[in-house]
């Protein structure tokens, strides 16, 4: 039990000692991505290997440790980053770290014998790029070019172990806040750091805390928005499952600062692992005395609760989220009054997202001045992004605010997959925008993005190549928002439906003159009149694609042609007369009799009859049938 400040430092010394006594640690990535590629199995195999080998022990036992020759730990870590190279395994011996990629069950024994018991490096399991092999994880370009602050612990230790978190300096920030700073000092420090909400809008966190602290009502709440619903974003999920204690420490500091006694984390339903790791972390902290009443012997009481979402995207909106925690339908409400005055259970509430809270311990520990040296003038600190789509290295990244898109996509992401041409990047999910080549050198920060009609949003970056149709992307997002519209206000409920209908018509080749103007008019009205952020930003993907790719809309509407060749209903098939030998195989295959011609002469397709099923393409032995 940790009941005093002194007991925390005893626990920390003990944990550091235990950590230091490992001869080797096998760090198996247990992020959602690697688990999907089988890392749990890899973990089990390593654990068995350690157990079965004489003279090697898995768990640290203070009394008989000396009798063993080797102490080898097998740990499940948070996301190590490069999800596409999973399952990822790190072999750590003191300062020496070897990163193995795409580790298969059959490789485990070799790794164990050569790299754990021996000191060999297995060349074939290293990450290779352009003929070069990389040994250390921090040498891999994907990781070397990042600045990992929120994610600093992910991949380095057991994400389920409180002791390892404490050994790595965990709870130092809380200790400093509680014993060296007044509540006002803490708020002042966060305010000075310039930390802005990482969930989308970028509202200064310190100002929020200050407003809650100044309310007359004595009962306050601290709420964490872990309802990361944007498709293509998984940063917050990675923090919740990879470093749950850091998130909780951040929330505890907030609670201490604003005198809240209860905290809630709202986690989306699709993240079962985040829920289980957070629950375990809370249970451990309660058992060890770091959560509950009179924390470390002071008058600070704090209790944590987890709420699972039930599949409503709109619950990512503040007032809808609090309504959902209260046991109501997740409807947003008219603001003001704002959440800081009347939030959860109608009490003053600090509501920040996962990444925002995860920034807090570092700021308190290192100070606001240090924090401000990272990032840009008005957007300090780092930002996590999930990098996905048609890119060489997908995964979870963290870079200082102000890094350019080019650095993210080409330096860290390794450029386009299969050497394709970069076309656009979608940022900020359904509330965000599609940016193009001309935006590549633009710094990624709150204000610059806002200027071009985009937003940092939650931080999903989906990279698209020439084969992606931008009208179809707009339709995809509108379909998403339309599905998720809660139905409370008319502009969002009806407006998104009309916009979706128009977009569906356009991609089906039934676009009409005036559709683009009508879309823009609807967009303006919805943005101006919808009740909540979901509705207000719903038209963004459409507006930004019209702005940057108007010619694609026009090609669909006026020429009935999809420049990317992606829209099924606009596909045009033709027979290349140079390649056609006149064998008639395609004509016999065509279900609607659209192909005709004379044997041994080039055939042709009647586009009026053609239903674009593509069966002629597979029938042709000469590859003479083309799409265009």
Partner 1 sequence: MSSSFDFTVVDQVLSANNNSSQYIIAILQDIQEHYRYLPREIVPYLSEKLGMSEAKIYSIATFYENFSFEPKGKYVIKVCDGTACHVRHSTPVLEALWKELGLSKEKHTTDDLMFTVETVSCLGACGLAPTMMVNEQVYAAMTPEKVLAVLEELRGRG
Q: Tell me which residues touch partner 1 (CB under 8 A).
A: 32-33, 35-37, 82-84, 86, 228-234, 237-238, 269-272, 307-313, 324, 326-330, 386-390, 394-396, 426, 429, 460, 462, 464, 468, 473, 476-477, 480, 484, 486
- Closest distance to partner 1 from the beta carbon of 426 (Å): 6
In a 10 Å sphere around its CB, with 0-12 CB exposed, 13-18 middle and 19+ buried, how is residue 245 labelled? buried
- Closest distance to partner 1 from the beta carbon of 420 (Å): 12
- Closest distance to partner 1 from the beta carbon of 330 (Å): 7
Q: Give whichever of 35 and 89 is closer to partner 1, judged by the CB atom.
A: 35
CB 404 within 8 A of CB 443: yes
Q: Give whichever of 73 and 226 is closer to partner 1, judged by the CB atom.
A: 226
Q: Give whichever of 46 and 271 is closer to partner 1, judged by the CB atom.
A: 271
Q: Give whichever of 300 and 313 is closer to partner 1, judged by the CB atom.
A: 313
Q: Give whichever of 170 and 309 is closer to partner 1, judged by the CB atom.
A: 309
| Paired strand residues for 29 | 77
- Collect all residues with Cβ–Cβ distance below 8 Å to 152 and sequence separation of at least 6: none
DSSP summary character for residue 273 = H
Which among 447, 427, 460, 456 is positioned nearest to 548, based on CA atoms?
427
Strands (E) located in 78-121: 89-93, 96-100
Task: Look at the alpha carbons of 457, 462, 467, 472 in this order and tell me if their dihedral is positive or negative.
Answer: negative
CB 86 within 8 A of CB 37: yes
CB 39 within 8 A of CB 29: yes
- Closest distance to partner 1 from the beta carbon of 81 (Å): 9
- Closest distance to partner 1 from the beta carbon of 462 (Å): 5
Q: Give whichever of 193 and 274 is closer to partner 1, judged by the CB atom.
A: 274
Q: Are strands 433-436 and 595-596 parallel, antiparallel or unpaired?
A: unpaired
- Closest distance to partner 1 from the beta carbon of 83 (Å): 3
| Sheet of strand 433-436, all strands in order from the earlier edge strand to the far edge | 395-400, 382-389, 460-465, 422-427, 433-436
- Closest distance to partner 1 from the beta carbon of 30 (Å): 12
DSSP string, 182-214: -HHHHHHHHHHHT-B-TTSS--BHHHHHHHHHT
Q: What are phi and psi of 383, to 5 degrees?
A: -140, 135
Q: What are phi and psi of 565, to 5 degrees?
A: 70, 30
| Paired strand residues for 129 | 132
- Closest distance to partner 1 from the beta carbon of 273 (Å): 8
Terminal C-alpha separation, the chain: 70
DSSP summary character for residue 413 = S
Helices (H), 399-514: 405-406, 446-451, 470-484, 490-507
Rg (alpha carbons) of the chain, rounded to whole number: 28
Question: What SS3 state is found at 341?
Answer: coil
- Closest distance to partner 1 from the beta carbon of 155 (Å): 14
Q: Give whichever of 239 and 580 is closer to partner 1, judged by the CB atom.
A: 239
CB 589 within 8 A of CB 542: no
Q: Give whichever of 170 and 460 is closer to partner 1, judged by the CB atom.
A: 460
Tell the residue number behind the tokens 């003990």, with chain if given: 14
- Closest distance to partner 1 from the beta carbon of 270 (Å): 6
Distance CA 190, CA 467 (A): 45
- Closest distance to partner 1 from the beta carbon of 232 (Å): 4
Q: Give whichever of 339 and 386 is closer to partner 1, judged by the CB atom.
A: 386
Q: Give whichever of 82 and 304 is closer to partner 1, judged by the CB atom.
A: 82
- Closest distance to partner 1 from the beta carbon of 120 (Å): 29
Q: Give whichever of 448 and 468 is closer to partner 1, judged by the CB atom.
A: 468
Q: Give whichever of 390 and 444 is closer to partner 1, judged by the CB atom.
A: 390
- Closest distance to partner 1 from the beta carbon of 537 (Å): 15
Task: Look at the alpha carbons of 368, 373, 377, 382 in this order and tell me if their dihedral is positive or negative.
Answer: negative
- Closest distance to partner 1 from the beta carbon of 16 (Å): 33
Q: Give whichever of 376 and 458 is closer to partner 1, judged by the CB atom.
A: 458
Q: Give whichever of 102 and 114 is closer to partner 1, judged by the CB atom.
A: 102
Number of neighbouring beta carbons within 10 Å of residue 435: 23
Query: Which structure tokens are listed for 227?
Result: 């309802």
Q: Is there a cis peptide before residue 336, judged by omega within 30 degrees of 0?
A: yes
Distance CA 77, CA 80 (A): 8
Question: What SS3 state is found at 446?
Answer: helix
Helix then strand then coil, in percent of the chain rounded to 5, is 45, 15, 40
Q: At what angle do helices 540-558 and 515-529 cross, to 10 degrees?
A: 170
Q: Give whichever of 55 and 327 is closer to partner 1, judged by the CB atom.
A: 327
Tell the residue number behind the tokens 């909400």, with chain if given: 197
- Closest distance to partner 1 from the beta carbon of 32 (Å): 5
Question: What SS3 state is found at 116?
Answer: helix
């Amino acid at each position: 039990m940790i009941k005093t400040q002194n007991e925390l430092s005893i626990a920390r010394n003990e944990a550091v000692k235990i950590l230091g006594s490992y001869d080797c640690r096998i760090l198996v990535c247990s992020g959602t991505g690697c688990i999907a590629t089988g890392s749990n199995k890899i973990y089990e195999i390593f654990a068995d290997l350690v157990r079965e080998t004489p003279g090697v022990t898995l768990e640290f036992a203070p009394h008989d440790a000396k009798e063993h020759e080797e102490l080898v730990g097998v740990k499940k870590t948070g996301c190590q980053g490069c999800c596409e190279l999973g399952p990822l395994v790190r072999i750590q011996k003191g300062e020496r770290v070897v990163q193995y990629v795409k580790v298969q069950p059959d490789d485990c024994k070799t790794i164990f014998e050569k790299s754990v018991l021996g000191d060999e490096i297995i060349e074939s399991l290293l990450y290779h790029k352009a003929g070069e092999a990389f040994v250390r994880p921090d040498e891999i370009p994907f990781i070397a070019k990042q600045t990992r602050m929120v994610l600093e612990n992910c991949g380095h230790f057991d994400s389920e172990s409180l002791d390892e978190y404490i050994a790595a300096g965990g709870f130092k920030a809380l200790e400093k806040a509680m014993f060296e700073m007044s509540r006002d000092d803490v708020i002042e420090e966060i305010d000075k750091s310039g930390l802005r909400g990482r969930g989308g809008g970028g509202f200064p966190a310190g100002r929020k805390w200050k407003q809650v602290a100044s309310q007359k009502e004595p009962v306050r709440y601290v709420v964490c928005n872990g309802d990361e619903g944007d498709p293509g974003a998984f940063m917050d999920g990675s923090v919740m499952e990879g470093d749950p204690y850091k998130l909780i420490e951040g929330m505890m500091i907030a609670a201490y600062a604003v005198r809240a006694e209860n905290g809630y984390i709202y986690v989306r339903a699709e993240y079962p692992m985040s829920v289980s790791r957070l629950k375990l972390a809370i249970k451990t902290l309660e058992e060890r005395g770091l959560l509950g009443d009179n924390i470390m012997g002071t008058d600070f009481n704090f209790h944590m609760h987890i709420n699972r979402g039930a599949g409503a995207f709109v619950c990512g909106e503040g007032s809808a989220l609090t309504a959902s925690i209260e046991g109501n339908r997740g409807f947003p409400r008219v603001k003001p009054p704002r959440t800081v005055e009347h939030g959860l259970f109608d009490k003053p509430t600090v509501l920040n997202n996962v990444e925002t809270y995860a920034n807090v311990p570092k700021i308190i520990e290192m100070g606001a001045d240090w924090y401000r040296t990272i990032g840009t003038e008005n957007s300090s600190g780092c930002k996590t992004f999930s990098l996905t789509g048609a890119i060489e290295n997908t995964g979870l990244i963290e870079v200082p605010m102000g890094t350019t898109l080019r650095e993210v996509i080409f330096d860290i992401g390794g450029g386009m997959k299969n050497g394709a041409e970069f076309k656009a990047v979608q940022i900020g999910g359904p509330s965000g925008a599609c940016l193009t080549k001309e935006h590549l050198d633009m710094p990624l920060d709150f204000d610059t993005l806002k200027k071009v009609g985009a937003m940092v949003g939650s931080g999903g970056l989906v990279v698209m190549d020439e084969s992606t149709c931008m009208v179809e992307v707009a339709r995809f997002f509108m379909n998403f928002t339309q599905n998720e519209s809660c139905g409370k206000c008319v502009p969002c409920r009806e407006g998104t439906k009309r916009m979706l209908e128009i977009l569906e018509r356009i991609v089906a080749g039934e676009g009409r003159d005036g559709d683009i103007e009508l879309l823009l008019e609807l967009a303006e009205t919805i943005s101006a009149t919808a009740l909540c952020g979901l509705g207000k930003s719903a038209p963004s993907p459409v507006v930004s694609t019209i702005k940057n790719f108007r010619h694609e809309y026009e090609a669909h509407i006026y020429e009935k042609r999809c420049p990317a060749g992606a829209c099924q209903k606009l596909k045009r098939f033709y027979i290349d007369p140079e390649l056609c030998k006149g064998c008639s195989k395609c004509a016999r295959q065509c279900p609607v009799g659209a192909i005709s011609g004379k044997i041994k002469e080039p055939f042709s397709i009647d586009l009026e009859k053609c239903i674009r099923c593509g069966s002629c393409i597979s029938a042709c032995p000469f590859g003479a049938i083309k799409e265009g």
